A and B are shown apart, each in its own frame.
Chain A
Amino acid sequence: MSTTFYNQIAANKRQSLLLAIAVAAILGVFGFVIGYALTGRAEGGIAATLIAVAVAALSSIGSYLAGDKLVLATSQAREVDEQTAPQLMNVVREISIAAGVPMPHVYVIEDSAPNAFATGRDPEHASVAVTTGLLEKMDREELQGVLGHELSHVRNYDIRFTLLVGVLVGSVALLSDFFLRWTFWFGGGARSSNDDRDRGGGGLQVFFFILAIVLSILAPIAARLVQLAVSRQREYLADASSVELTRNPHGLERALETIATDREVLEVASRATQHLYFTNPIKKFEARASGLMSTHPPIVERVNRLRELTGEQPLDPNEAAVLSGLD
């Protein structure tokens, strides 16, 4: 089966948008249910949702404005320039030209595990970091593929997109937390005693109350799962966009295969920063084959999608087993 990177890019954007709308819908329904359960009025639901979104948004402003510096500091990245890393800067420059974006800041992380990440709210404020392990193990074509993937994250405004989805998911978590605490501390005393005539009646509100408790447990989980699906879609999008830049799926494919079979664990990565990296850095080698709970798609699937672009056969079961670490 064969397709073009244009088609893959369009499909990925469409799917990630639908998923983001799904998170917003979860938030909307959940907020409405809670608000109605607490106040017996629909307006209460809207108010509750808006407040939760505002709080989550405020707490994300710091991440939006200075998140990249924080991530770079915690990853022990050091900035490089034409004198200290001429060849790396050249390759970054080549890909920036292909992408039509300004040169990002370039950082190097001292670690033998091959990996890379990009951060920055838009192409004018972007940084890209690679490990020394990556620089050792990649040839120029592979490095172009990896950097193309990373710069595409910036070019597709992925940092912003995932932050937005993160705010929505955070709002769901906030509402859930708030409601469960309210219920725990104040019991059922939330029914307002005024305006008895205007409300839909106590029975409906009790129903919503029970529904709200159930959703308070389920909604955060559902939102988180959708958020992870969004993250995976954006990874596929970055892969396809990298091919748009380099016009060479093989470089990226070889890079993925090299990294997949490398047994090292990236030491500076943590649960907080794992989603930024080129491949999932914190899972142990055997567990890297992923499912619903991973920020990254399985490497086998990523390689197969790249093979679709050149009309090649997908990986056969033996090759797939090697790449997922199940051999």
Chain B
Amino acid sequence: MLPLIIVLVVIAVIVVFVIAIYNGLVQRRLRIDEAFAQIDVQLKRRHDLIPNLVNAVKGYMDFEQDVLTRVTEARANAIAAGAQGPAEQAQAENMLTGALRSLFAVVENYPQLKANENVLNLQEQLTTTENQISFSRQHYNATVLDYNQSIQTFPNVLIAGPFGFIKREFFAAEPEAQEVPVVALR
């Protein structure tokens, strides 16, 4: 009688362990999905801020239309690329980052713009959005790392395979189109 009880207890303990590990893996995998969705939230926020910025500076910057046009076009491309896939989206968003940097470099030459509270406010908004985008990506990578570590270490590795937990990829930044911002001195 006793050996049977011991066997049953051991089986029960193992089952509890397996359940706990499985649930932990599911939680970690869900965190990755959430982190990925959060990146999109930040990217969309940036898309929404840009028209206001372009309008605020347009009146002052008659001679810099090409820079403004680049920003507006890059924004449109980024929104369209959102439907295409992560790699295309990342590349389009990076081009938008480049266009915005050119714009801010040019704004440096217009003292009235630099003092304009509206412009300063929008600059802060865009700066913080850029930071939030990169922190979102960083956090996404942190959740991927946590999950990958979980499914590869012992004893979780015994459970991950049979239950279909596979490795996830890190977010890899595409190289930006390297264009030197044109700063026209007038």
Contacts and interface: CB of A to CB of B under 8 A. Distances in A.
- A interface: dominant SS: helix
Which size class do B's interface residues fall under?
Answer: 10 to 19
A247 interface: yes
B128 A91 contact: yes
Nearest to B138: A98
Contacts of A247: 138
Which of A87, A97, A99 has the largest number of chain B CB atoms within 10 A?
A97
A100 interface: yes
Contacts of B143: 100
B128 A97 contact: no
B124 A97 contact: no
Given A86-B124, A90-B124, A97 B142 contact: no
Nearest to A247: B138
Contacts of B131: 90, 94
Contacts of B35: 100
Contacts of B121: 86
B72 interface: no
Contacts, number: 34
Interface in A79-129: 86-87, 90-91, 93-95, 97-100
A197 B4 CA distance: 43
A245 B135 CA distance: 8
Contacts of A140: 127
Interface string A241-260: 00001010000000000000
Which of B35, B138, B143 has the largest number of chain A CB atoms within 10 A?
B138
B132 A87 contact: no
A245 B141 CA distance: 12
Interface in B107-166: 121, 124-125, 127-128, 131-132, 135-136, 138-139, 142-143
8 contacts: A86-B121, A86-B124, A87-B128, A90-B128, A94-B131, A100-B31, A100-B35, A245-B135
Interface of B: 31, 35, 38, 42, 121, 124-125, 127-128, 131-132, 135-136, 138-139, 142-143
Given A87-B124, A97-B42, 9 more contacts: A90-B128, A91-B128, A94-B131, A97-B135, A98-B138, A98-B139, A100-B142, A100-B143, A140-B127
